[in-house]
Structure 1
Amino acid sequence: MSKTLGGFTLNVVAAKFTDSQIILLHGQPGTGKTTFIKLLAGVKYPDTIQGNIPCLSVSYKPQIIRPSQFHSVRALFKNLNCSLFEDPCFVSTVTEPLEILPLMDKRTTNLLDSQLQRDADIYLIDEPTASLDQVERDTASQVIKRFIQRFKRTALVIEHNHEVASYLADKVIVFEGTPSVNCVANPPIQRNEVPRYIYLINEPTASINHVQLIQHTKKAAFVIEHNLEVASYPAHSVIVFEGTPLVDCFANPHLNEP
């Protein structure tokens, strides 16, 4: 299928997926990841469709959730009329880890974005951990993974946190092309098949694994690391940042490590 929005066109290559699987949408900003999610959710309609799209129930979580009605969380669950919320497995997998019970009598209009995250065949999740701190992010990513596997659902996820994305992804849809102009959503591939040319690594905790990977695959990496001992091991050259912090700074050309 394809969709044109103003001067931007997204073409989606036909593909298949299975249950118990999380598919990560990977690509630069402006390559159509959110547009693709909205097409699947029915928020937007494609201009052209080739082949048959199966009729499946879909649950869509946009980047920012704004409750449209003044419900309590308990009433919201009841209105969904889904027995899944009383399933002991669901309680142990989702309700308890996410600490939903203390929120049951709160009004949905008073909840944070991170507290507003229905049952479906396919879950379309745009940045599930964007409003969470590190502990909540770890818990949420574990809950998503366990839920999809245990209840044999499928999820398509946009996630910009590299650590969370790496943990969640079973397969990856790579978006390629010219951002905001013309892009293609390719069929899902295995996570280890995703082409990477430059790695951007912010404070790695196990740099040796990254170094071995980069050396083996003959790629390049830009690394931020505040532990001097760790930083000294992988660095082949160094970019020195100078100036007045938070005021005026510049990044020098890279130098060979002394």
Structure 2
Amino acid sequence: MAHIRVCNISKTLGKVHTLDHISLEINNNEFVVIVGPSGCGKSTLFNIMSGLMPPDQGRVEIDGVDWTGRTGRVSYMQQKDLLLPSRTILDNVSIPLQLKGIAKNQARQTAVQYLAEFGLEEFSHHYPRQLSGGMRQKAALLRTYLFASDILLLDEPFASLDAITRRKMHLWLKEMQNRYHCSILFITHDIEEALMLADRIYLFSARPAQVKQEIKLSPQELSPVQHQHLKSSIIQQLEQ
């Protein structure tokens, strides 16, 4: 059974038909990437999967249970880190634990245990403005993880970073996933990023989004020729 299944989701926002019978699934400890044109409805799908928005049709199942329209089961990180500037990094990452009803001091003690794992131990009492873009994204990812550790929805989390920092964050995120055994659904416009991170890729059409193709990547590293061929094929699919 898939860890999370999106079943025949359709959505119209205002008069704009945004999602058209979208179905996909993510298995346990799998890294799945969605690639599609800007404005095709990828973020709308995440809003539905996280329970922030109801679909017009379809359902979201997690471990066989219908979670459609219900919040609190998955973690959702948007493009901006959304760290509170008036709170330290420790207090920022403690927020999801406090929202679960854990006392502030206990929440902070729990969060401290993860700071070193996420490379943030020496920055616990810094404020977001004092951190680099990459460190802010790590803090945001830790906060996301502490909300619900087994399913992470990441909406272009590295889009604002420079190429070198983004590459480092790719390697770090894969290491974190392998360590914590979480399932990740990741949105990107960057085909290289998708090929680097994904176990599987879903290609979305222009709005209203439909799944054009599902690509399963080999666990073995692609040769340069294979990589270029697959990249060209994806570009061709997206341009059709």
Q: TM > 0.5 between the two?
A: yes
Structure 1: runs of 5+ lacking an equivalent: 193-207, 223-258
The TM-score with structure 1 as length reference comes to 0.62
Please state if 1:209 is matched with 2:224. Answer: yes
2:187 aligned residue: 158
Please state if 1:61 is matched with 2:77. Answer: yes
1:104-183 counterparts in 2 under 5 A? Answer: 104-108=124-128, 114=134, 115-116=136-137, 117=140, 118-119=144-145, 120=148, 121-176=150-205, 179-180=206-207, 182-183=208-209
Letter in 1 for 2:224: N
2:43 to 25, 34, 46: 34
Indicate the SS of the match to 1:141: helix
Cα offsets for 1:157-182 (capped at 9, x unmatched): 11223332211011112212xx34x2
The TM-score with structure 2 as length reference comes to 0.66
2:113 aligned residue: 86
Cα offsets for 1:172-215 (capped at 9, x unmatched): 12212xx34x22146854137xxxxxxxxxxxxxxx9349964x
2:22 aligned residue: 13
1:23 aligned residue: 32
Larger Rg: 1
Letter in 2 for 1:126: D
Aligned-pair CA distance for 1:131 = 1.9
Q: What is the CA–CA distance in structure 1 between the aligned matches of 2:233 and 2:24, rounded to whole Å?
A: 29
8 Å CA contact 1:70–1:109 kept in 2: the answer is no
Structure 2: runs of 5+ lacking an equivalent: 1-8, 98-106
8 Å CA contact 1:145–1:168 kept in 2: the answer is yes
1:240 aligned residue: none
Aligned-pair CA distance for 1:12 = 4.0
Identify if the C-alpha distance between structure 1 residues 18 and 212 changes in structure 2 by more than 3 Å, giving closer, same or farther: closer
Aligned-pair CA distance for 1:4 = 0.6
8 Å CA contact 1:23–1:188 kept in 2: the answer is no
2:123 aligned residue: 103
1:190 aligned residue: 216
Cα offsets for 1:84-127 (capped at 9, x unmatched): 7515xx834xx22xxx2343212246656641433222111111
Q: What is the CA–CA distance in structure 1 between the aligned matches of 2:231 and 2:159, rounded to whole Å?
A: 31
Indicate the SS of the match to 1:157: strand
Aligned-pair CA distance for 1:18 = 1.3
Identify if the C-alpha distance between structure 1 residues 162 and 110 changes in structure 2 by more than 3 Å, giving closer, same or farther: same
8 Å CA contact 2:42–2:187 kept in 1: the answer is yes
Q: What is the CA–CA distance in structure 2 between the aligned matches of 1:217 and 1:25, rounded to whole Å?
A: 14
